[in-house]
A and B are shown apart, each in its own frame.
Chain A
Amino acid sequence: DQQVKQNSPSLSVQEGRISILNCDYTNSMFDYFLWYKKYPAEGPTFLISISSIKDKNEDGRFTVFLNKSAKHLSLHIVPSQPGDSAVYFCAASGSSSGSARQLTFGSGTQLTVLP
């Protein structure tokens, strides 16, 4: 049972345009959400996070939106750059995630930004 779902395995966007990566979750106890970026042969790099008390968090070109009623979050990258091409993982944690408040990851979306 996948509690965090990224339904689009891949996304292609033209350089300079907006990239929108989507993530859905089923566990209503999740209260902290993160996005990680992963290049091939490297570990995931933390990008941005959002707590469930907020509906938006912005950091430079990256904005994360949280819609709690829909159990949906999205990552917006604008403008997209070729260096943004990577796999993006959505992750969530909450009080029901065990003693570690372990992260539950989605399966990732491969973003390709075309020059």
Chain B
Amino acid sequence: DAMVIQNPRYQVTQFGKPVTLSCSQTLNHNVMYWYQQKSSQAPKLLFHYYDKDFNNEADTPDNFQSRRPNTSFCFLDIRSPGLGDAAMYLCATSRDLGDTQYFGPGTRLTVL
């Protein structure tokens, strides 16, 4: 089945220790997105890639970076996680900008 896969599902890291979250898709979609969702809040877009073009949201902290080495994979790097970065991180894809977005299962990040 075509899908959006996120690994790991649960990630624990220590304060200040870099962490990388992974997303892969078999949908061959052009656009990949990373969202942060904290409890009882709406998902918040961090950035997106349209093919190899990276687009950062204006209020995304510098602590968050992303890489898309090929169409299928996209990574979220958190350089120095703080306690406030504990959240669910959601990856999504869409065929093109403005099309329906399909989400992965998310990675729950805990920062100790």
A interface with B by C-beta (< 8 Å): 4, 9, 32, 34, 36, 41-46, 49, 89, 93, 99-108
Query: Known: A93-B98, A101-B97, A102-B45. Contact between A43 and B40, CB under 8 A?
Result: no
Q: How far is the CA of A46 from the CA of B48 in the complex (A)?
A: 19
Residues of B within 8 A of A101 (CB): 97-98
Pair B103/A100 contact, Cβ less than 8 Å: no
Interface centre among A43, A44, A93, by most chain B C-beta atoms within 10 angstroms, is: A43
- Please give 15 more A-B residue pairs, beta carbons under 8 A apart, in addition to A42-B106, A101-B98, A102-B33: A9-B40, A41-B105, A42-B105, A43-B103, A43-B105, A45-B103, A46-B101, A46-B102, A99-B97, A100-B33, A100-B48, A102-B57, A103-B45, A105-B42, A107-B40
Q: Is B31 at the interface (CB under 8 A from chain A)?
A: yes
Interface residues of chain A: helix, strand, loop or mixed (majority) = loop
| Residues of B within 8 A of A (CB-CB), count | 27
Smallest CB–CB gap between B58 and chain A, Å? Answer: 9
Residues of B within 8 A of A45 (CB): 103
Q: How far is the CA of A9 from the CA of B39 in the complex (A)?
A: 13
Q: Which of B34-81 contact A (CB under 8 A)?
A: 40-43, 45, 48, 50, 55, 57
Smallest CB–CB gap between B21 and chain A, Å? Answer: 13
Residues of A within 8 A of B6 (CB): 43
